[in-house]
Amino acid sequence: MPDRNPGFSTLAVHAGAQPDPATGARITPIYQTTAYVFNDADHAAALFGLKQFGNIYTRIMNPTQAVLEERVAALEGGTAALAVASGHAAQMLVFHTIMQPGDNFVAAKKLYGGSINQFGHAFKSFDWQVRWADTADPESFEAEIDGRTRAIFIESLANPGGTFVDIAAIAEVARKHGLPLIVDNTMATPYLLRPLEHGADIVVHSATKFLGGHGNSMGGIIVDGGTFDWSKSGNYPALSKPRTEYGGVVLHQAFGNFAFAIACRVLGLRDLGPAIAPMNAFLILTGIETLPLRMQRHCDNALKVATWLKQHPKVAWVNYAGLDSDPNHALQQRYSPKGAGAVFTFGVRGGYVAGKALVEGLQLFSHLANIGDTRSLVIHPASTTHAQLTEAQQIAAGAGPDVVRLSIGIEDAADIIADLEQSLAKV
Res. 386: pLDDT tops 90 = no
Give residues with Cβ within 8 angstroms of 136, minimum separation 6. Answer: none
Q: What share of the chain has pLDDT > 70, as a percent?
A: 100
Read off the pLDDT of each residue in 139-150 and give the average, rounded to a whole number. 97
CA distances from 233 to 227, 228, 318, 378 (A): 15, 11, 45, 45
Quick one: pLDDT at residue 391? 83
Which CATH class, in words, describes the domain spanning 8-287? alpha beta
Buried b / exposed e along 213-244 (16+ C-beta atoms within 10 A): bebebbbbbbbbbbbbebbeeebbebbbeebe
**CA-based angle 327:328:332, to the nearest 5?**
145
Mean predicted lDDT score pLDDT of the chain: 95
317-348 per-position pLDDT tens digit: 999 999 999 999 999 999 999 999 999 999 99
Boundaries of every domain in the chain: 8-287, 292-426
**What is the mean predicted confidence (pLDDT) over 258-282?**
98
pLDDT at residue 369 is higher than 80: yes
The CATH code belonging to domain 292-426 is: 3.90.1150.10
Reply yes or no on whether the pLDDT at 248 is more than 60: yes
- Tell me whether the CATH fold assigned to 8-287 matches the one assigned to 292-426: no
Q: Hey, which residues does 35 pair with through a beta bridge?
A: 57
**Banded model confidence at residue 2, pLDDT cuts 50, 70, 90:** low
Q: How confident is the model at residue 113 (pLDDT cuts 50, 70, 90)?
A: confident
Compute the 3-state secondary structure of the chain and give helix, strand, coil in percent, each to the nearest 5: 40, 15, 45
Per DSSP, the three-state class of 233 is coil
Residue 393 has pLDDT above 90, yes or no: no
What is the arithmetic mean of pLDDT over 23-37?
96
